[in-house]
Amino acid sequence: MEKHFTDSRVKGVSTGTTILAAVFDGGVVIGSDSRASMGGEFVSSKTINKVIQVHDRIFCCMAGSLADAQAVTKTAKFQLSFHSVQMENPPLVIAAASILKELCYNNKDELQAGFITAGWDKKKGPQVYVVSLGGMLISQPVTIGGSGSTYIYGYVDAKYKVNMTREECLQFATNALALAMGRDNVSGGVVNLVVITEAGAEHIVIPGDKLPTFSDE
């Protein structure tokens, strides 16, 4: 069933954000900062959790209009739960990403929201998918998004390696988010991370004063 959303782009709350997901050997890390902004300048909240669980081992990060992103993820969670009951099996990660893609594409004239979907399933193991503002779907081993991502493309290209260990991937994600938060005026607060493996999902919160610092800060 097609669902239409109200346009919230005019003076709406934005996630003004840095989001990230990266595959490691046996799992995937997905994370973000926790600030929400209005108009790209005013920080309206420092405690927004942008890492949303849509199923047991599937999470997504949201960027863009907060109202749009929350409406889409709420609808996606319902559809994915219904899909899981029909299939009598846990849903695939690609199924979750495809639902988000369809919602974004069918409402592309009203929505201003993009997503990173990450998770683990028995068919393909750890996976990361990007759903763009217009509803395009791409599979990548590592991806970043949001306003803060423009500051860390070089770091991500230089430091990400295929088949990293869990600890290496966590350190990579933490460093990348800390660097973006240090540069982007609407990224900040705490770092929310989720590690997803066959065993399940582990939530990790790193306060701002516990984040790594760098020589230019």
| Structural domain boundaries in the chain | 19-37+47-208
User: Hey, what are 25's tokens?
Assistant: 């050997």
Task: HSE, CB side, 13 Å, CA atoms: give it for residue 173.
Answer: 30
Report pLDDT for 112. Answer: 86
CA 52 to chain centre: 8
Question: What homologous superfamily is domain 19-37+47-208 in, according to CATH?
Answer: Aminohydrolase, N-terminal nucleophile (Ntn) domain (3.60.20.10)
Digit-by-digit pLDDT tens for the chain (217 residues) are: 444 444 444 445 665 689 999 999 999 999 999 988 776 566 777 788 899 999 999 999 988 888 888 899 999 999 999 988 988 999 999 999 999 999 999 998 888 888 999 999 999 999 999 999 888 999 999 999 988 999 999 999 999 999 999 999 999 999 999 999 999 888 889 999 999 999 999 999 999 899 998 865 5
CA 74 to chain centre: 15
The torsion angles phi and psi of 162, rounded to 5 degrees, stand at: -65, 145
Find the DSSP H helices in the chain.
66-87, 93-106, 153-159, 166-183
- The contacts of residue 158 (CB under 8 Å, 6+ apart) are none
Give strand pairing partners of 64.
113
**124: how many CB neighbours lie within 10 A of its CB?**
12
Report pLDDT for 1. Answer: 45
Cα 55 from Cα 40, distance rounded (Å)? 31
Report pLDDT for 210. Answer: 92
Cα 104 from Cα 81, distance rounded (Å)? 19
Known catalytic residue: 143?
no
Q: If DSSP states are collapsed to H, E and C, what string results for 144-199?
A: EECHHHHHCHHHHHHHCCCCCCHHHHHHHHHHHHHHHHHHCCCCCCCEEEEEEECC
Give strand pairing partners of 117.
60, 129
Give strand pairing partners of 137.
131
Report pLDDT for 185. Answer: 83
Residue from 15, 17, 18, 117 carrying the catalytic annotation: 17
